[in-house]
Amino acid sequence: MASAYESDEETFSGSDSEVSDESDFESESEQESDSEDDRQVYTKQPCKYYNRGGCKNGASCSYLHVCKYFLKGSCRYGSSCKLSHSLGGRRSSGQCARSEDQSAASNPQLTDGRPYQWQINDGKGWKDVENDYIIEAQYSLPHTKSIKIYNTPYGAVCIDFNKIRIYGKNLKVRRLDDGNTVWDWYCTLRKKWRKYGDKDSKGNPGPVKSSDIERKFQSNPKSSFAFTSGGETFQIKFPEMQQVGKKKNRKVTRRPVFRQQQGNAGAAHLATSFKNLSVGTKPQWQFEGHSGNWHNFKRRTGTSSECSINSDDIESKYQLNPTDTLKFKINGQPYKLDFGAMIQINQTNKSKRKIRRVLV
């Protein structure tokens, strides 16, 4: 299935920049909060049809798909309830809403030498997504929430990485692999994703290894993993994807280690790029101002200094081809970024500014 890509980072809508590659993608990354409860406060009423067993409107329903008794604090089924017990829309632990891919045995394995393959099903069978190494690369980053695919037979398609589903369309998505994927586990700490087992600032390793968590998950994706740190016992609940403690709950995610596809130059470039990008860091694009100070690219609308792109847009284009160019507009005037020369060019008067890519 031919498509163009745009991987999304939270909250990341389509840019106004012009892109010419057959594969563009826009990434939506998130810096997660480690607060005990960072759920949104909803004013919507629970959907009565959803609570009766099914709503024909699905994701487009204007009402909240959540157990009405959970909202009242009186659901007698608790964690075994088949309806959602989350204001974020996830089902409770009784009915995990995670991807088919999250269960070790739920998806067939690839046997043709490919390490992974993303597919979409419109009701007429599963179809391969071309150049899916871009999807895989973004999926491997713990802070990336979703990716938007353009120019598909179904129009623009947005894949939610947390639930492995497609927003707002009657389509299914899945990820197949060869059974050799290495999975890493992360939790939020001081608003950044940290890999379990990584050393802290003092060089001390974490109290539990990512591989230990994965081993338990593979044995039972609906169970939990307990460990002790600093005299306190914590529990990683797989269905809720949360680390639960006495004082604070933290978000947890599971992502694959990105693997290079043999003979794929684009995937090889991404693999090399990812080796230099540590967890908790994020590329930031900047331009040099008149005073010599560096400023971040930020998308702005409705202001005196409108800009059609931000740093994430630039990074997405750069990941496709680090020697390419990217066109955009400031106050309606055309500009171009030249990655090979690392300059910004005013297309009207040909003036130039330096640009740079830093990790923050």
Q: What tokens does 52 get?
A: 């009766």
Bridge partner list, 333 = 330
DSSP state of 321: -
Establish if 23 belongs to a structural domain: no
Is residue 104 assigned to a domain?
Answer: no
Please give the sequence-ordered ranges of beta strands (E in DSSP) within the chain, or none if there are none: 4-8, 27-29, 116-121, 126-128, 144-152, 155-160, 165-166, 172-177, 183-189, 192-195, 224-229, 232-237, 242-244, 249-256, 283-288, 294-296, 325-330, 333-338, 343-346, 352-359
- Tell whether 351 is covered by a domain: yes
Tell me: do 296 and 248 sit in the same domain. no
Residue ranges in the chain whose pLDDT is less than 70: 1-44, 73, 79, 86-108, 261-281, 302-304, 360
3-class SS of residue 43: coil
Residue 78 resides in a domain: no
> pLDDT for 217-274, tens place per residue?
998 998 999 999 888 999 999 999 999 999 899 999 999 999 876 656 555 555 555 4
Residue 10 falls inside a structural domain? no
Domain boundary among 256, 273, 293: 256
State how many domains the chain has: 2
What SS3 class is residue 214?
A: helix
Spatial distance between the Cα atoms of 157 and 163, rounded to a whole number of angstroms: 15
Report the CATH number that the domain containing residue 250 is assigned in CATH. 3.30.720.50
Q: What percent of the chain has pLDDT over 90?
A: 29
Q: Within a domain: residue 331? A: yes
Is residue 156 one of the residues assigned to a domain? no
The burial of 254, by beta-carbon neighbours within 10 Å (0-12 exposed, 13-18 middle, 19 or more buried), is given as buried
DSSP at 42: P
Structural domain that includes position 344: 283-359
pLDDT score, position 53: 82
pLDDT at 186: 95
Predicted structure pTM score = 0.55
Out of 241, 256, 271, pick the residue that ends a domain. 256
Domain contains 39: no
Confidence (pLDDT) at 34: 39
